[in-house]
Amino acid sequence: MSYFVINKSEDLSGVIKVQGAKNLILPLMAAALLSEGITIFENCPDISDVRYTIKILEGFGCRVDFYDSTLSIDTRGFNPCNIGSKYSEKMRSSFLFMGALLSKCKTAKLSMPGGCNIGRRPIDIHLKAFREMGVKIAEDRDEIFADARYLRDAYIKLDFPSVGATENVILLAVKSNVHIVLDNIAREPEIKEMCNILNKMGAKICWESDSRIEIYGVDKLKPVRARVMGDRICAGTYITAVGLCGGDVIISGIDNNSLLGMSDIFLRMGIEITNNSKDSIRVRCNRRTTNLTSIHTEPFPGFPTDIQSPLMVLASVSMGTVRLTENLFENRFRIVNELNRMGADIKVENNVAIINGVDSLRGTDVRATELRGGAALVLAGMVANGVTRITGIQYIARGYENILNDLNKIGGKIVCHME
């Protein structure tokens, strides 16, 4: 078993580079199935979700090489088969292969997707959109069967701007003989970049507005070489670290435009964020941060749910009281008990956490149970007096390539132990 031991850090400084975006590379790996040949993605993060997805691709007969942040996917050996539950149960993004497989093979069977236990993440929005396109779907408790041999043109308005459903419809439509109007789509930067890369592959995706696209199916997509944008959630995590510990840090591989929805909250709490160059920002904080009256998570360009847990740590030691409302996932408050054991003052009422800022946290033994909450506990350890020991760090590896090295580069005091 591996675990982190963390001592308090102060006055962070230096330069830190964010990894490639987890929420872009995973759908791109599914998209690679739609081309014939070798697709290459640069700046690919070495995270466990990527490693699991590589296993899925290899199960299809693809040859995958991953070295020095460059991922090469050769689809010429593709052999249709089912995604085994061993990997699909570990990560929700495995369901993105449904759209790609239906486009490529016209029929598909997948195990129910898994991932972090942060609450219900229903795939009903995906399935409803598929049905509106003419896909026939049968479900049982553990598997989903889909038949896309009789697709039709459709206008689809998603009930909710789901990232996964938006990606899945795009992956099905781009290489099918259909014209799809997709409305109320997710607007995250990763969605727009995914569409840009698919268009480079030969797709015809037209933006009608920020929330609506038209997809004209094509017969063939070609392999490309593309660079994965920086991970804005990783950047937000490291911005929070500066707010907690103080300091002056350059974060490269990201720009301020990608931080819409979170940068305004950080600025209003007292963290200074400025452009340092075209692809880097400068983050400074030299005083104790102040809580806002109310913060709530919402789809982009609102405050992202993936930064809610790190923000909860920041709010725990900021001046004043905040009502933090989680509107997307009901189990995003799973770290509350761990933070309260560290001396935080947090009360939960349904989907609202009422956080009263305290002067300091104290180090103790805590356990990570999901990705973003695990990263937040690392931040809590960096600001806590004494020593913090974190187990369950395998969850953190799902989305952070090397959070230990990254934070230690700017003054963190984190050591990984193995038993």
Residue-wise pLDDT tens digits, 213-233: 999 999 999 999 999 999 999
3-state secondary structure of 131: helix
pLDDT at 418 over 80: yes
pLDDT at 117 over 80: no
**For this structure, is 116 an active site residue?**
yes
Assign 330 a pLDDT band (cuts: 50, 70, 90). low
Assign 107 a pLDDT band (cuts: 50, 70, 90). confident
Cis omega (within 30 of 0) for bond into 299? no
For the chain, the domains span 2-19+231-418, 22-227
pLDDT average, residue stretch 8-27: 96
Look up residue 45 and give its amino acid. Answer: P
CB 166 within 8 A of CB 186: yes
Within this chain, domains 2-19+231-418 and 22-227 share the same CATH topology: yes
Residue 108 is predicted with a pLDDT of: 83
Q: Which of 116, 195, 234, 245 is catalytic?
A: 116
pLDDT at 375 over 50: yes
User: Which alpha helices (DSSP H) does 255-368 contain, by range?
Assistant: 263-269, 308-316, 336-341
Least confident of 75-84, 189-198, 234-243, 385-394: 75-84
pTM of structure: 0.92
Compute, in degrees rounded to 10, the torsion defined by CA atoms 393, 252, 91, 127: 150
Cα separations in angstroms, 15 against 8, 91, 252, 287, 345: 19, 31, 7, 20, 33
User: CATH: 1.10.1060.10, 2.40.50.140, 3.65.10.10, 3.40.50.300. Which one for 22-227?
Assistant: 3.65.10.10
Residue-wise pLDDT tens digits, 124-174: 899 999 999 999 999 877 778 889 999 999 999 999 999 999 999 999 999
End-to-end CA distance of the chain: 5
**Token pair in block for residue 227:** 């660079």
Measuring CA to CA, which residue among 242, 200, 327, 178 is closest to residue 14? 242
Q: Which CATH class is domain 2-19+231-418?
A: alpha beta
Compute how many other C-beta atoms are within 10 angstroms of the C-beta atom of residue 390. Answer: 23
Which residues 6+ apart lie within 8 Å of 368 measured at CB? 374, 377, 390, 391, 392, 393, 395, 396
Q: To the nearest 5 percent, what fractions of the chain are helix, strand and coil?
A: 35, 30, 35
Measuring CA to CA, which residue among 326, 369, 342, 390 is closest to residue 244? 342
Residue 90 is predicted with a pLDDT of: 43
CB 265 within 8 A of CB 294: no
